Amino acid sequence: MTGQTQNVQLTQKEKTLLQDQKTHEEICVQKYQNYANQAQDPQLKQLFSDYAGQEQQHLDTINQILGGQVPAVGQQGQQNQQNSPGVGSNQMEGAMANQGDASLCNDMLMTEKYVSDTYDTAIFECSDSNIRQALNHIQKEEQQHGEGIFNYMQNKGMYKPK
C-alpha cells in the first residue's frame, strides 16, 4: 500500500494494545536520544541517533492509527539497517571497550527484544489487514535495530554468543 491513508474503526482491544505500543515507542525515542548523547563511540552515537529517528516514525505511525488513519507503509529507515557499524573493527577494541557504551547497548538490545515481542500480540489482535501490515513493518524495523546493536556489540567484543 503506498501513498494514501485509509480510515479505520478500531476496537477497544486494538486501541488498548496500540496505546501500549505508543508508550513503548515514546520510551524508545527517549532512550535512543539520551543514549546517543551519552555514548562515547561516534559510531554508536550515530547508530542511536538514526534509531531515534526511526522510532519517532514508528510513534507517528501508531498515532496515525490511533487517530483512525491507516498510513501507507513506506521503505523509510530500511537502508540504514544494512550497514552494521563496527564491521571489520579491531578485536583489541573489545578488551578496551567502553563499559558505559556496553551498558547502553545491553539495555537497548533488551528493550528491542521486548518491544518486538509486544508487537506480536498487537499484530495478531488487529482485525484490519492494513494495520497488521503497518505494525509488521514496524516490528521488522525493531528487529533490525536489535540486529544492528547485536552486530555492533559483537564487532566491538562486547557480546560473544556461545
Does a structural domain hold residue 64? yes
| Residue 161 in this model has a pLDDT that exceeds 80 | no
For the entire predicted model, the pTM comes to: 0.81
Does a structural domain hold residue 46? yes
% the chain with pLDDT above 70 = 82
Give the residue with greater pLDDT, 90 vs 137: 137
How much is the pLDDT for 4? Answer: 57
**pLDDT tens, position by position, 45-77:** 999 999 999 999 999 999 999 999 987 775 444
Q: Which domain holds residue 128?
A: 9-68+97-155
Does a structural domain hold residue 16? yes
Q: How many domains does the chain have?
A: 1
Q: What is the 3-state secondary structure (H, E, C) of the chain?
A: CCCCCEECCCCHHHHHHHHHHHHHHHHHHHHHHHHHHHCCCHHHHHHHHHHHHHHHHHHHHHHHHHCCEECCCCCCCHHHHCCCCCCCCCCHHHHCCCHHHHHHHHHHHHHHHHHHHHHHHHHHHCCCHHHHHHHHHHHHHHHHHHHHHHHHHHHCCCCCCC
| Residue 88 in this model has a pLDDT that exceeds 60 | no
Does a structural domain hold residue 73? no
Does a structural domain hold residue 33? yes
Does a structural domain hold residue 124? yes
Does a structural domain hold residue 4? no
Does a structural domain hold residue 32? yes
**pLDDT tens, position by position, 137-160:** 999 999 999 999 999 999 999 988
CATH number at residue 29: 1.20.1260.10
pLDDT band at 82 (very low <50, low <70, confident <90, very high): very low
**pLDDT tens, position by position, 2-13:** 455 678 889 999
How much is the pLDDT for 74? Answer: 58
% the chain with pLDDT above 90 = 73
